[in-house]
Structure formats: structure tokens, C-alpha cells
Amino acid sequence: MRPGGRFVDGTVGTGGHAEAIMEGSSPGGRLLGIDADPEALEIARRRLDPYGPAVTLVNDNFSRLEEICHAHGFAPVDGILLDLGLSSLQLDSAGRGFSFRMDAPLDMRFGPAQPATAADIVNGYPEEDLAAILRDYGEERHSRLIARRIVAARPIRTTRELASIIERLPGVTPGRIHPATRTFQALRIAVNRELDSLQEVLRQAVRVLAAGGRLVVISYHSLEDRMVKQFMREESRGCICPPEVPVCACHHTPTLQLVNRRPVTPGEAEIAENPRSRSAKLRAAERVQAPASTTAGTPGQSDA
């Protein structure tokens, strides 16, 4: 991180990382913070108020990163941070429905502007589609059984109602994680289109990074980490044609260089201080080639 740089925190939350970025980039650093959660953004606004106009906060989804950067004259940038975990504010808010440890309406939306809630999926999706969500987004091996029990118990209105259905499944025994954990993860991902949004923001990040700028992503479950790893590895390679193609036809050129080939994970001391960090994996890559256009106000151009 260099003084005077321009940085994007695409998941600004309550502003903890953003504050550290501003401290590290002073004097002269600027930050564009994006978050879909207006409640978290208001906390971040108060926290970052001492930095005045050097900080711009936008209530939006990071899937629109490129458009947001150009709208605010904020491209190219020297660094982009994406922390994909839920904030303590979201997990501990009784009315948000992210956690099965407290009874709340089945909501799970990052922001109120999003149309569908977890209740809409739980009570409205066909059994086959519901099972696919639990299997694909939660990696839940009991997806068909859970979907069948959910459909039989409809309507389901609260987090505890849903969790208790899963707790009562035959053969379910207490383990390292609560038996409803994967179901809740899957529903949250589906409600917020998290994997689609991640795929979109990764592609856009390459286009708005300056040469030498870094993309840093912190993920918390295997689906996200696998997507980030594959994207960074592919963008750090030349030819990406299938092995059976004898002559390169893709003409792909590397846009990223891996900073760390293995993810950075928290140590014992950090986990002891913050148990929710135990599954975190940090991956970073550096832009090796300047974007085709760095002129503000011309979104959509790409060199990759």
C-alpha cells in the first residue's frame, strides 16, 4: 500500500478495513467504499468521517464495481479489497434472519432493495429446485431429504422453525458445526446472488486496476475460495485453451500475477481473538498490464 493511492473496499461493512486502508495510504490516500447494507454503511460513514472528502461511500452491490468507479472518477485504482464474510452486525442483528441461533423472520437480504427473501425461497420454490440450492450452494449431502421436509412443513416463517426441522432429521447428531449451517449458507447465497456477483466483480476488478495494483479477496467457504483461486490462476496464465487443442486459439495474455500461491490463513492467536475468522482464506494478485482505457466515464472497455 502506497501513500496517496486510490483504493476500493468493495465490502466496506462497518468500516474496519477501510479505516486501516486510510491509515496505511496517508498522506493523500483516497477510498471508495461500497456496501449493499445501508445499516452497516451508516456506521462506516460515522467511523470514517474524520477523513472527510477523501472517502466516498456508495450503497450498492459490488457486482457494479466498474460502473461505480467510473461514475465517481475513481479509475484506475491501486488496490481492491473484497472481504466476503458476513459482518458481526449482520449475524447479531435479531431481525435480519442470518443466524439460526436467534428467532427472526427468514430474510437474509444484504439490503432491503433486494426483492426476494429466504422465506420466498423456502416457501415458494419447488422441492427439486430447493434441493439443488442446498446441494450446489451449501454442499449439503442431505439436500433432498431436507428439501422434502421443508416442503412438508410449509409455511415456515422464522429461522428457528427452519433450524428445528433440520435438527429433527433422522440420523442428525451434534457435530463440529450445527446441522442447519449448510442450509442457511445456501439460502443466503441464493437470496443475495453471491456467487454470480463474485464472478462479475472479479472480471471488473481486472479492468479497473492500475498496473501494479492489487486485488485482495478474503473468502470463508470453499465455493467462494475455489472461484477466486480459479479466476486468479487463469488470469495469471497465457494460453487457456483446453489441453486437446494443439495450437493456441484463445490468444489469452496474463492480466494478473499471483502474490501468494497458497492462501493466507489466520494463526491460532487471531482465531482465539476472533473465532469467526477460523475459516478465512486470503488470496492476492497483482495487475501486470495497464487497462486499455483509464479515462473516467468510459465503462465497459476491456483489455482482457
Domain of 106: which CATH number? 1.10.150.170
Is there a single domain that holds both residue 126 and residue 250?
no
233 and 117 together in one domain: no
Domain identity same for 74 and 110: no
Please check whether residues 104 and 139 belong to one and the same domain. yes
pLDDT at 185: 95
In a domain, 202, yes or no: yes
Residues 157 and 216 grouped into a single domain: no
Q: What is the pLDDT of residue 154?
A: 97
Residue 204 maps to a domain: yes
Model pLDDT for residues 69-88, shown as the tens digit of each residue: 999 999 999 999 999 988 77
> CB of 161 within 8 A of CB of 97?
no
- Is residue 297 in some structural domain? no
Q: Are residues 104 and 141 in the same domain?
A: yes
pLDDT at res. 301? 37
The answer on 229 and 113 residing in a single domain is no
- Which three cell numbers mark 183? 442450509
Alpha-carbon span 56 to 8, nearest angstrom: 10
Is 174 found in the same domain as 117? yes
**What is the number of domains present in the chain?**
2
Q: Which domain holds residue 31?
A: 6-88+194-287
Domain-located, residue 299? no
- 84 plus 230 within the same structural domain: yes
pLDDT at 290: 53
Cβ burial, residue 47 (10 Å; 0-12/13-18/19+): middle
Domain match, 35 and 22 both: yes
- With respect to residue 137, please indicate whether it lies within any of the assigned structural domains: yes
DSSP characters over 197-229: HHHHHHHHHHHHEEEEEEEEEEE-SHHHHHHHH
Where is the domain boundary, 177, 192, 207?
A: 192
Whether residue 83 sits in one domain with residue 42:
yes
pTM (two decimals): 0.88
Q: What is the pLDDT of residues 220-242, one digit of tens each?
A: 999 999 999 999 999 998 887 88
73 within some domain: yes
- The predicted structure's pLDDT at residue 174: 65
What residues of the chain score a pLDDT lower than 70? Answer: 174-175, 290-304
Give the pLDDT confidence score for residue 297 in this predicted structure. 40
Sheet holding 77-83, edge to edge: 55-59, 30-35, 6-9, 77-83, 209-219, 281-287, 256-258
Residues 77 and 226 in one domain: yes
Give the tens place of pLDDT for each residue, 246-284: 888 877 789 999 999 899 999 999 989 888 788 999 999
Domain closes at, from 144, 176, 192: 192
**Is 293 contained in some domain?**
no
